[in-house]
Structure 1
Amino acid sequence: MSSAQIIKLDREVHAHDFRTAMRHLVGGVSVITVGQGADVTGMTVTSVSSLSVDPPSLIVAVNRAASSWPLLKRYGFFGVNILAADQTDIAERFSGKGGLKGAERFAGARWVARAPGAPLLVGALAALDCEVEDIIERHSHGIVIGRVRDLQVAPRGSALAYWHGDYVAIDRDEDIAKLAEVSIPAPRLGKS
């Protein structure tokens, strides 16, 4: 039996190399919304993750230089809108493409809000209304812990993911069928 050899590397990881490595990680695409009335904005993220079921809570990493950051801290609540595969235009709009800012990003889609609460996207795979429970500031980002106060879930649909710098549709039924075709060998007929 051989033992593993540990090699210590004395080099700094460069931002470009780190981004390249992280592009291999498939991320679900969500839009985080913050604010109320005309004082709203949002951003596209792949950094949402569940934290706890009891109580229902999640985490999201938010760049502290983003326009959403001051509103998130001021209002203390946010929306997490998990996008469907046919909502790429919304992901693009909230990523800043086209130069839209603030309330302009919400045009072209239907939104609802509970009082107090951030706008939630009608037609999202899931839309969660969250209250900020804690913020841990590290480096360029804040890790926001949100307590889920309310949610709405679509009956079914394909998800929007981000991988290798592109949006990718993930459809459970279609993708399971494709995987079954290539990964399960056909049964052999005949005598054994």
Structure 2
Amino acid sequence: MNSIVCNVSIDRGVSAGDFRQAMRRLTGGVSVITAGIGWDISGMTVTSVSSLSVDPPALIVSINREASSWPLMRRYGFFGVNILTSDQIDIADRFTGKGGLKGTERFGGAHWTTRVSGVPLLTDALAAIDCEVEDMVERHSHAIVIGRVLDVAVSTRTAALAYWQGQYVAIDRDEDALKLADVSLPASRSTRRT
């Protein structure tokens, strides 16, 4: 087997602002990560959720180690991933700490349930995923958390909330698929019927 080794020079002078600006060009699905049990709960809004594997079901999320959810995730070993619908901007804002909300205050105004792990899961999320911490890799200001999926609840709704260029953006599978087809298909193919 052949392998290719490539030396990459990294400019250590990249500012946090420049990096943040570059990452704003990457569209991310908006989720609320919840952690804790009972009244010892908190949560945060993230765009860093990604699937890791299907067999077994596992996902990855990047967590700021200064976040209030971090010690709860470490203590209890479980977390929830609540993928938000396009009309849940208020929930996304609450879990960023907007208005000074902390801990249990962030959970007000929405309906929550628990599943296998006991962490709060949003009942009307696009999808709510109950996870057990499988591994935590701490690097710099954040940690990569690998979660083994214990349970999943999926909504029939289709409109998701995304974050792009510093703003929330609604993405609707049905409406946006038609719009994309109109602009991406060549005229000869889109007008032809079989």
Where does residue 161 of structure 2 map in the other structure? 160
> Counterpart of 1:179 in 2: which secondary structure?
helix
Going from structure 1 to structure 2, the CA distance change for 1:117 and 1:19 (only over 3 Å counts) comes to same
Instruction: Give 1:116 shift.
Output: 3.3
Going from structure 1 to structure 2, the CA distance change for 1:58 and 1:11 (only over 3 Å counts) comes to closer
Distance across 2 between alignment mates of 1:7 and 1:39: 45
Distance across 1 between alignment mates of 2:139 and 2:42: 23
Residues 117 and 130, structure 2, Cα contact 8 Å, conserved in 1:
no
Distance across 1 between alignment mates of 2:9 and 2:133: 39
Where does residue 19 of structure 2 map in the other structure? 18
Instruction: Give 1:59 shift.
Output: 0.5
Written as runs of structure 1 = structure 2, the 5 A alignment for 1:36-75 is 36-75=37-76
Distance across 2 between alignment mates of 1:160 and 1:7: 35
> Counterpart of 2:71 in 1: which secondary structure?
helix
- My pick for the range that moved more, 170-179 or 19-28, is 170-179
Structure 2, unaligned stretches of length 5 or more? Answer: 1-6
Amino acid at match of 1:53: V
Residues 79 and 117, structure 1, Cα contact 8 Å, conserved in 2:
no
Query: Which structure has the greater CA radius of gyration?
Result: 1
> Counterpart of 2:45 in 1: which secondary structure?
strand
Deviation digits for residues 28-81 of structure 1 (CA, Å, limit 9, x no counterpart): 000000001111000000000000101100000000011111111001000000
Where does residue 92 of structure 1 map in the other structure? 93
Where does residue 129 of structure 1 map in the other structure? 130
Give the CA RMSD over aligned residues. 1.8
Instruction: Give 1:175 shift.
Output: 0.9
Distance across 1 between alignment mates of 2:95 and 2:185: 40
Residues 117 and 131, structure 2, Cα contact 8 Å, conserved in 1:
no
Deviation digits for residues 137-183 of structure 1 (CA, Å, limit 9, x no counterpart): 00000100000000100013200000000000001111111112222
Distance across 1 between alignment mates of 2:30 and 2:173: 16
> Counterpart of 2:187 in 1: which secondary structure?
coil
Where does residue 3 of structure 1 map in the other structure? none
> Counterpart of 1:69 in 2: which secondary structure?
helix
Going from structure 1 to structure 2, the CA distance change for 1:186 and 1:123 (only over 3 Å counts) comes to same
Where does residue 118 of structure 1 map in the other structure? 119
Instruction: Give 1:98 shift.
Output: 1.1
- Quote the sequence identity (%): 70
> Counterpart of 1:86 in 2: which secondary structure?
coil
Distance across 1 between alignment mates of 2:10 and 2:142: 26
Distance across 2 between alignment mates of 1:8 and 1:107: 48
Structure 1, unaligned stretches of length 5 or more? Answer: 1-5
Instruction: Give 1:8 shift.
Output: 6.0
Amino acid at match of 1:158: A
